[in-house]
Amino acid sequence: MHIFICSSGSSVQRRFVRRMWLSALFCVLFSLTAAVFFRLVHHPAVYFAWPLAALPAVPILGALMATGAYLKEETDEFQRDLLVQGLLYASGLTLAVVTASGYLHDFARVPVLPLIWIYPLFWCVAGISIVVLSRRYR
């Protein structure tokens, strides 16, 4: 499957990859902006601090929309199926890791997994799952 490689695959796949990279780029950019701002300004007004702190989550909505658009635009049902399977594995594993982290924190005082890592974890697992799954059908 060429889904995560920008230079190959169908035009729909290339468009999806472009949108996902763009979303990741804005996510990092907004995170850096927020990090720098909160480092420099110690007690910002709530009406300004809250939207700025939540800003990195906006591109995540864009990524969800890009995924939805891909599933709608992709005419190759097998490729659609691969992505859906990858997303299912990612959902399952991410939920398991986060739940385990919660239990470990509550019962064994293990430091809890920071919530901002859940989204990157989800896509890492999705990417690995899709690569592994697609190798089965080469």
Q: In the complex with another protein, which residue's Cβ is closer, 8 or 33?
A: 8
Helix H or strand E encompassing 50: helix 46-54
Q: Counting Cβ atoms within 10 Å, is residue 120 exposed (0-12), middle (13-18) or buried (19+)?
A: exposed
Smallest separation, CB 59 to another protein (Å) = 28
Place of tokens 């891909």: 70
Q: Which of 5, 29, 65, 81 binds another protein (CB under 8 A)?
A: 81
Return the range that interacts with another protein (CB under 8 A); candidates 21-29, 41-49, 72-80, 106-114: 72-80
Q: Is 76 in the site for another protein (CB under 8 A)?
A: yes
Q: Is 11 in the site for another protein (CB under 8 A)?
A: no
Side chain identity, residue 50: W
Return the range that interacts with another protein (CB under 8 A); candidates 42-50, 61-69, 78-86, 105-113: 78-86
What is the chain's length? 138
- The 3-state secondary structure of 79-124 reads HHHHHHHHHHHHHHHHHHHHHHHHHHHHHHCCCCCCHHHHHHHHHH
Return the range that interacts with another protein (CB under 8 A); candidates 20-28, 39-47, 90-98, 130-138: 130-138
Side chain identity, residue 121: L
Smallest separation, CB 122 to another protein (Å) = 24
Which spans of this chain sit near another protein (rule: CB under 8 A)?
Answer: 1-2, 10, 75-79, 81, 134, 136-138
